[in-house]
Structure 1
Amino acid sequence: MNIRHLEYFVILSDELHFRRTAERLGITQAPLSLGIQALENELGARLFHRTKRAVSLTEAGMALLDDARAVLSRLEHGKEAVWQTVSGEVGRLRVGFTNASSLAPFFPHLIRQYRTSWPKVSMVLSEISSSLQLEALEQRELDVSILRLLPNAQVNSTIVCTPLLQEPLLLALHSGHPLAKAEQVSVADVRDEAFIVYARKAGIAVSEQILQLCAKRGFVPNVVQEVQQASTMIGLASTGLGVAIVPAPLATIAVPGVVFRTFTDLDATTTLYVAHRFGDANSRVRQFVNLALDIVQA
């Protein structure tokens, strides 16, 4: 059944006048008459009584009218649903993020503003390491990620990584440690210290960065404890078990007995990226990426 002819039928049923109906449709009366005739021929029944003075619905026309309105309404609803999905108004957005990135000042602002701007989008947040985020993006298990990369990392060509912001790395240590008295320290100053680090098997990019920083100074950290969570790292630093090198946002974890010191080394930094699949047509991804860039650049 021709949907356009069905629309002709419904509007003519409202107007019961061919000229006014044609004007509403933006056509002439000839294609309107042909469309109604074609619909009648397809259904095998007259839908309108026509005289020179009046147009009225037949019994068959009255039987069709409610269903015709329902069909056009469902079609309009479907078109609206498609438009909302394509425009990013509705749907699902799966966002990956690292433990430390959730503590960065921009992160809660980003999530809150996105949810406010697109309230009909279902946002699924997943805390996951950077390396696993890249895998999840490739496997289409995530739509967009906030992550870190190793210097000179080889990323799959299907993934686009855009720098968001660069953060300093800080030294976390017990307040009674001799280096706690210094306002600034260098990476070389911790050569002989015991280290608390992220477990390498966890795939946390910043832990590899720290190993590279130390290697450039000619030493391998003396690791006394591996951990899975940033809060555990800071908590163990408070015991005096060892020192930890952490992204700056972790300084927001207030644990008694822990102080943070800035490194003088210019390369003691880490970069956060927003990542997504190349050529992804998902409007929700584009909106999230643009919003993230706007917020960090504001």
Structure 2
Amino acid sequence: MELRHIRYFLAVAEEQNVTRAAERLGIGQPPLSQQIHALEDEIGVRLFRRTGHGVVLTEAGEVFVVDAKRILADTRLAVEKAQSAGRGEIGQLNIGFTGSAAFNPVVSRLIRTYRQAFPNVTLTLAEGNTAQLLAYLDDGRVDVAFIRLGSQSPAGVQFHHIAIEPMRVVLPATHRLARKRKVDLSELADDPFVLLPREASPTLHDVIVGACSDAGFTPIAGQQAPQLSSVVNLVAAEFGVSLVPASVCQIQVEGVVYHDVAGKGISIRLALASRIEATPAKTANFLETARQFTSSMQ
């Protein structure tokens, strides 16, 4: 049974006249009659009974018309859903982000803007360090990922600039420099640094070590932190000092203070990573939203 047979049947049922139904469908009356007869033969029952003025549904036809309308409605809905999916208007988008990226207000505003534009796309969020997120991106567990961009670009991944964020010094509240408005990094040469392992967050680690090197010293490796929020807690526990992206200063933990870096500022880049290969429409829409959003901020 073909969908056109169902459409022909419904047209005749609604018009109660084969000639008028043929005119409505834009086909000849004889071919339409033949198609209706073929449909009845396939089903094995008569769907119409002829009258002096046209045709009326038989009892079998009245039953069939209900499901025929549902079949056509379901078909139209299936087509509309497929078209919506092709335009990236429905589906699921998996977004990854590093712990530090989650604190950046640009990220939350961008996601909010996308949700307003594509309310029928379900978003799932996955947190991880840079290495994990790049692995998730590679195996398809996330479609895009907010990460801290370093100098290296893994194969098969493209990066889209989101923001440049200044770094700030985080000190225990009892530290000798806690009352200063700005801190010169060289003054921290004798302090242990609480750092994330380089394999977990190579960009953040290299920015901190590079800034210390520019200030004339190699940072003393102190307690390692499993994630960025833990850095602040470990500093509060007086395990050492550290540098964090400015947005992390939203973490208000008792026993820590945040200060600007004296002299030349230190910054770290936030980027949106995606696969270079053919991009699904939902992902392309998110990337375009990010492009427009960041352009409007410049």
TM-score bracket, shorter-length normalisation? 0.7 to 0.9
What percent identity do the matched residue pairs reach? 32
Deviation at 1:2, TM superposition (A): 1.8
Report the counterpart of residue 267 of structure 2 in structure 1: 269
Show the counterpart of 2:155: 156
Q: Is 2:268 the counterpart of 1:289?
A: no
- Residue-by-residue CA offset, 1:168-201 (whole Å, 9 max, x unaligned): 1111113443444443344444333221111334
- Equivalent in 242, 252, 265 of residue 254 of structure 1: 252
Distance 1:41 1:213, change over 3 A: same
Q: What is the CA–CA distance in structure 2 between the aligned matches of 1:267 and 1:30, rounded to whole Å?
A: 84
Distance 1:183 1:28 in 2: 88
- Relative to structure 1, the CA distance from residue 150 to residue 40 in structure 2 (aligned partners, 3 Å threshold; closer, same or farther) is same
Number of the residue aligned with 2:240? 242
* 1:202 counterpart SS class: coil
**If the length of structure 2 is used for normalisation, what is the TM-score?**
0.85
Distance 1:204-1:228 versus aligned 2 partners, 3 A rule: farther
The SS at the match of 1:11 is helix
Aligned CA distance change for structure 1 residues 267 and 39 (closer, same or farther; 3 Å): farther
Superposed CA offset, 1:122-157 (max 9, x none): 221111111111111110111111111222x03122
CA 1:265–1:30: 2 relative to 1, 3 Å: farther
Deviation per residue, 1:184-238 (Å, 9 max, x gap) = 3444443332211113343453123322333455532101211113332212323
The residue that corresponds to 1:12 in the other structure is 12
Instruction: Tell me the residue number matched to 1:141.
Output: 141
Partner of 1:168 in structure 2? 166
* Aligned residue number for residue 76 of structure 1: 76
Of residues 116-125 and 45-54 in structure 1, the stretch that sits farther from structure 2 once superposed is 45-54
Q: How many residues align?
A: 296
The amino acid across from 1:156 in the alignment is A
**What CA RMSD, in Å, does the superposition of the two structures yield over aligned residues?**
2.8
Contact 1:234/1:258 (8 A) holds in 2: yes
TM norm structure 1: 0.85
1:61: which partner in 2? 61
How far apart, in 1, do the equivalents of 2:84 and 2:16 lie? Answer: 34
Q: Distance in 1 between matches of 2:9 and 2:150?
A: 65
SS in 1 for 2:229: helix
**Shift in Å, 1:277:** 1.8
Give, in whole Å, the separation in 2 of the partners of 1:284 and 1:97: 18
Unaligned runs of 5+ in 2: none
> What SS does the corresponding residue of 1:111 show, helix, strand or coil?
helix
Letter in 2 for 1:263: V
- In the other structure, the counterpart of 1:225 is 223
Does the 8 A contact of 2:131 with 2:199 survive in 1? no
DSSP 3-state at the match of 1:155: coil
C-alpha displacement of 1:272: 0.8
